[in-house]
Amino acid sequence: MADFLVVAFGGNAILPSGRRGTLEEQRNNIRHMSAELGRLLADGHRVVVTHGNGPQVGEIMLKSELAREVVPPLTLDVGGAMSQGQIGYMLQQEIGNYLTQSQIEHSVCSIVTQVIVDPNDPAFETPTKPIGRFYGRTEAERLRREQGWDMVEDAGRGYRRVVPSPQPVTIQEWPAVRSLVAAGVLVIAAGGGGIPVVRERDGSLRGVEAVIDKDLAAQKLASLVQARTLVLLTEVDAVAVNFGTPQQRSLQLVELLELKGHQQNGQFPAGSMGPKVKAAIDFLESGGDRVVITSAANLIAAVNGLSTGTQVVRSRESAVSLQRTLTGHAT
């Protein structure tokens, strides 16, 4: 009766803004996350993990630009692949350490994942996806001038580089992910939204300079591998409507049609909850059972019940059936 989950962490959960960003800081954050993921395995759930990489890939590209007079610079797709390896390695190791210390036998592996996008996606004409650290106005202007980066002000926190963010079409390695999960492996895949690639006329793949939204990639992966639940972790405990007003209200157990209504009324900005809500709607419309949107601290409670975080279901009837399943599993 255990669940089959795709769990998506944000890159800022690994490297929060305002931190120096040492590898030890990142590893400490990953160690805490890994314990939570290990607990899901101990509860009998099948788990696929995906993660953001905005801060990490931004750091990799900055190092490349600073060293361009000494070594050839990287392309963004290669930087994305490097961040997948970096974060995947630390997650894989720390989850494995938790399982060993808990005397749980379970394999963990990372897959460097390519996500196919449409070369004619309009996103390539309008970069919108922030990556990397925050800069002051003067430093942002220097980077715009010297490196040719597109820089935008980000929610009053400073300036960040923005790159194209095309929609994911499909995931090249999804059959391998599905096979590994069926064999009892916890899989880390589609990190940072996956490496964006386009398919040429001869069938070959070619990397492109972009970053795919990790929530949309997580939804695509969850749908392809036929997970039952998609978990989107964020910095808040639940999704809210009328945010920042006296009428602000958190959404708890919400039906798909209600969520779509809020989306159509402009409740979820593109730079905030917009991608998560779109991912939730697309997942349920593609056959998924449930979407959980909550903070990492609520992960276990939200997965094992319907009373924590924002829980999105197709209908109240499906929620009743799901609750019976969760209650049966808990007992």
Identified catalytic residue from 10, 11, 54, 79: 11
Looking at the DSSP bridge assignments, the partners of residue 153 are 159
Q: Which amino acid is at 86?
A: Q
276 given a catalytic annotation:
yes
Determine whether 18 is an active site residue: no
Catalytic residue among 12, 63, 274, 298: 12
- Contact predicate 112/84, CB 8 Å: yes
| Count of alpha carbons within 13 angstroms of residue 182, beta-carbon side | 8
Conformational region of residue 193, where left means phi above 0, alpha means psi within -120 to 50, and beta covers everything else: left
Active-site residue among 191, 192, 276, 278?
276
Query: Please, are residues 147 and 115 in contact by the beta-carbon 8 Å criterion?
Result: no
Residue 214 is a catalytic residue:
yes
Active-site option among 54, 214, 278, 309: 214
Q: Which amino acid is at 13?
A: A
Which position among 53, 58, 88, 129 bears the catalytic label?
129
Task: Look up 129 and say whether it is catalytic.
Answer: yes
Active site residue 220: no
Q: Is the dihedral of CA 32, 35, 39, 45 positive or negative?
A: positive
Q: Where are the alpha helices (DSSP H) in the chain?
A: 11-14, 23-42, 54-66, 76-101, 137-147, 174-182, 214-224, 256-264, 274-285, 299-303, 316-330
Q: Which residues are catalytic?
A: 11-12, 129, 214, 276
